[in-house]
Amino acid sequence: MTIDPRSLDTILSGARPRALAALLRYFRDLDAAEEAFQNACLRALRSWPDTGLPRDPTAWLILVGRNSGIDAARRASRFGALPDEIAISDTADVEEELAEQLDGAAYADDLLRLLFICCHRDLPPAQQIALALRIVSGLSVRQIARAFLVGDAAMEQRITRAKRVIANADVAFEAPAPLARAERIASVAAMLYLLFNEGYTASEQVSAREPFCDEAIRLARLLQTMFPDEPELIGLAALMLLQHARRAARFDAEGAVVLLERQDRSRWDETMISEGLVLLARAFRLGRAGRYQIEAAIAALHSRAPSFDETDWPQIAALYEKLELYAPSPVVLLNRAAAVSMAQGPAPALDMMLPLERALSSYFYFHGLKGHLLQRLGRDDEARAAFNLAIGLANTAAEAAQIRLYLDALTPGRD
């Protein structure tokens, strides 16, 4: 039987989170679980092209990985002789039973535990993302290093340090109580959105990060199917889909940022938008609002607007006001001010954002929005000063280039 190697890669990648999560519960050691999974994958690559795919590839990988890990422990301790190859490979009877177990709540807790470990509170955000990409997604150290613009050795050390923190942490392996599960879900959702934004905000110089969006969406889809009664996980999946649907229109041919008002909406991915809208409706039906659902609702209003000018700005401003109840921050209030500027004009928006100046003095978007509002009010000298501050805080060359366009549109200074 001939199996396309690319199909095998897809199957093994798709099975990785489930299989690795189950092996982690069994061995209670991240390195041992990862090694067992890799050994199972190697055996699959050798045997599946000849024997065909098993009924449940994930169950097969778990069982073979578990046997491989036991063998490794026996070799290390000289506990006993290794079983015959046929005893490890003949998994037909046990595989069916294990496949049935994967449909139960135990596996959902396995997956949640694996992701929760990757976003452990003692790890800084960059290490959380690197560890998740290495352990859960299976990216190579070289791929991750390229995305973060560091050397392979430096990234290897970063991941090793993260694993050491996890090994020394008191990680609970029993099924979490309802409150603990809710806390884990919130932490995992935040880490996945962080992973998504690492890709979404990537400039043309770090385009290697763009696949982070696809990986975050893949994991969010998996989680929301495992936890179908968690509206925030569903809302998070919807939010990322609705935002990522604009990817083809967000940069021009030279790689410069194209602002929302100038994007070619015919290039937005309608299939992705439709999926996001369906998920958002399902989340709302569960009747427990939260941050990601509200942010997804804002993205949905942008997605459904025929044009920038026809966007329902009053509703977006109202949603940002509601978002402040769930995720209060100066940035949320700044976004609300931007929506108010479209709904009511620049003057009330400027009054709303000026008290944020101290908190957001180092934030590029604050000075960019301030300059834009001052420009609309005809206060060009003040706008120029704000734009100059924004350029100094730009994160990418594309952001700086956009501000220069605003500066070029201003009347010459009186000095």
Give pLDDT tens digits for 37-54. 999 999 999 888 888 888
Determine the Cα–Cα distance for residues 76 and 248; give it in Å rounded to an integer: 52
Q: Tell me the residue type at 227.
A: F
374 or 150: which leads in pLDDT: 374
Q: What is the dihedral of CA 162, 166, 169, 172, to 10 degrees?
A: 150
Q: Name 251's bridge partners.
A: 257
- CA of residue 93 relative to chain centroid, distance: 37
Does the pLDDT at position 95 exceed 60?
no
Q: Name 257's bridge partners.
A: 251
Provide the b/e sequence for 22-39 (b: ≥16 CB within 10 Å).
bbbbbbeebebbbbbbeb
Output the average pLDDT for the chain: 85
pLDDT at residue 203, rounded to an integer: 58
- Map out the domains of the chain as residue ranges: 5-103, 106-223, 228-311, 329-415
201 or 325: which leads in pLDDT: 325
Q: What is the dihedral of CA 39, 43, 49, 53, to 10 degrees?
A: -80
Q: Kindly state which CATH superfamily the domain 329-415 is placed in.
A: Tetratricopeptide repeat domain (1.25.40.10)
* Tokens encoding 300: 């949905």
Determine the Cα–Cα distance for residues 270 and 181; give it in Å rounded to an integer: 34
Determine the Cα–Cα distance for residues 371 and 365; give it in Å rounded to an integer: 10
pLDDT digit string (tens) for 141-184?
Answer: 888 888 787 899 999 999 999 988 888 877 666 666 777 778 88
pLDDT at residue 147, rounded to an integer: 77
pLDDT digit string (tens) for 107-131?
Answer: 677 888 888 888 888 888 888 888 8
Place of tokens 């890799």: 38
Highest mean pLDDT among 178-192, 205-219, 317-331 belongs to 317-331
CA atoms within 13 A on the CB side of 265: 14
Q: Tell me the residue type at 38.
A: Q
Pairs from 6-15 (Cβ < 8 Å, separation ≥ 24): 8/44, 8/45, 8/48, 8/49, 11/53, 11/57, 12/41, 12/44, 12/57, 12/61, 13/137, 13/138, 15/57, 15/58, 15/61
pLDDT digit string (tens) for 331-371?
Answer: 999 999 999 999 999 999 999 999 999 999 999 999 999 99
